[in-house]
Amino acid sequence: MFLSVKINVMKENMNLNNIGNRKPFSVPTNYFEDFASQFDTQIAIRPISPLKLLRPWMYMAAMFLGVLFLSRMVYTVYTDNKMADAENYELYVMTQVDDVESLDYFDAEVSEKPLN
Amino acid sequence: MNSTDAELIAMLAEPRQKAAAFSSIVRLYQERIYWHIRKMVLSHEDSNDVMQNTFMKAWNGIENFRGDSLISTWLYRIATNETLTFLTSKRMKNLQLMDDEESLMFQNLKADSFFDGNDAEQKLQEAILTLPEKQRLVFNMKYFEDITYEEMEKILGTSVGALKASYHFAVKKVERFLESE
């Protein structure tokens, strides 16, 4: 009888209005003071590393070097192609003329060069 | 932005005052952040770890804070992410155990020397643990801290309407649990 009355009373108390919104937790003594002090020590020991500060500049330098390397590569390929074209053109011309004309051509080349 | 935030942000911009400014931030907001975490993870030791991670993340990412929001909102956001990450990793670690994570949390809570709730408060914590994590966040923030829906919107990135609905359903579920026991 007493138990069932107690259970009914407990059930009536089991609603949010009766329970309230108190936080039923506690922390060790001086916890917050200690936490803040310990954290101060941590950030004093671990300042932001110079590497982290330099990182954006390092990224920019790497990008600049990359662009420089690529443009150098493109330029080399372009120059090589141009030289190869010139050589091919000379060979092509030589195949289009007969031996007599070739000799005349070399004679003219030699005669144009100054004599030592 | 309030005047305290404006002063602290100005100090943070000065390299020589940065550590002092952050120390003030820790002292100013640590209790609110701690209780926000504690109500989710329940154990003091775990809350301490998550709060350490929260403030360390904030310190390391201080350059990314542009002052678009209140410092408290920014810290709440980091703390919420850290808490959810912590709970997920804990759940993954305990996957092989028979009991679900919430049951384990409640068992640990009852044995915790830093829990001083009466029977009804203990039952309320058990009821809150039946809610999904995101809804638990909303319920705790509104019920225990009375944070405005507008502030919660900025912290959780969920619309005011959705937050109101979530809180409404959370209250109903908690009340049903309390009545059924």
What is the DSSP annotation of B12-37? HTSTTTHHHHHHHHHHHHHHHHHHHH
- For residue B83, pLDDT beyond 90: yes
Q: Which residues of B touch A48 (CB under 8 A)?
A: 60
Question: Which one-letter amino acid corresponds to residue A5?
Answer: V
Range of the domain at A72: 2-112
Whether B179 sits inside 8 A of A14 (CB atoms) is: yes
State the CATH number of the domain containing residue B72: 1.10.1740.10
CA nearest to A21, candidates B147, B43, B45, B159: B147
Q: Which two tokens stand for residue B146?
A: 């009375």
Q: Does B125 lie in the same domain as B75?
A: no
Range of the domain at B180: 117-181
Residue with more model confidence, A112 or A107:
A107
Q: How many domains does chain B have?
A: 2
Residue with more model confidence, B73 or B94:
B73
Q: Which residues of B touch A (CB under 8 A)?
A: 19, 22-23, 26-27, 30-31, 34-35, 38-39, 42, 44, 48, 51-52, 55-56, 59-60, 114-125, 143-144, 146, 171, 174-175, 178-179, 181
Q: Does B25 lie in the same domain as B100?
A: yes
Which SS3 state, helix, strand or coil, does residue A25 take? strand
Q: Say what the pLDDT of residue A32 is.
A: 96
Q: Does B121 lie in the same domain as B85?
A: no
Q: Does B74 lie in the same domain as B30?
A: yes
State the CATH number of the domain containing residue B174: 1.10.10.10
Q: Which of B30, B42, B144 minimises the CB distance to A36?
A: B30
CB B23 within 8 A of CB B12: no
- For residue B113, pLDDT beyond 90: no
Q: Does B137 lie in the same domain as B176?
A: yes
Whether A24 sits inside 8 A of B125 (CB atoms) is: yes
Decide which of B83, B113, B143 is a domain's last residue. B113
Strand partners, A25: B115
A23 contact B CB<8A: yes
Q: Does B179 lie in the same domain as B150?
A: yes
Q: Does B124 lie in the same domain as B67?
A: no
Q: Does B90 lie in the same domain as B31?
A: yes
CA nearest to B47, candidates A31, A7, A73, A90: A31
Mean pLDDT (whole number) for B109-120: 88
CB B120 within 8 A of CB A19: yes
Q: Say what the pLDDT of residue B9 is.
A: 87
CB B128 within 8 A of CB B136: yes
Q: Which two tokens stand for residue B48?
A: 């301490």
Decide which of B82, B113, B144 is a domain's last residue. B113
- Complex ipTM tops 0.90: no
Q: Does B129 lie in the same domain as B65?
A: no
Decide which of B69, B94, B113 is a domain's last residue. B113
- The string of pLDDT tens digits covering residues B1-46 is 666 888 888 888 888 888 999 999 999 999 999 999 999 999 999 9
Residue with more model confidence, B120 or A105:
B120
Q: Which residues of B touch A26 (CB under 8 A)?
A: 114-116
CB B80 within 8 A of CB B158: no
Q: How many domains does chain A have?
A: 1
CB B2 within 8 A of CB B73: no
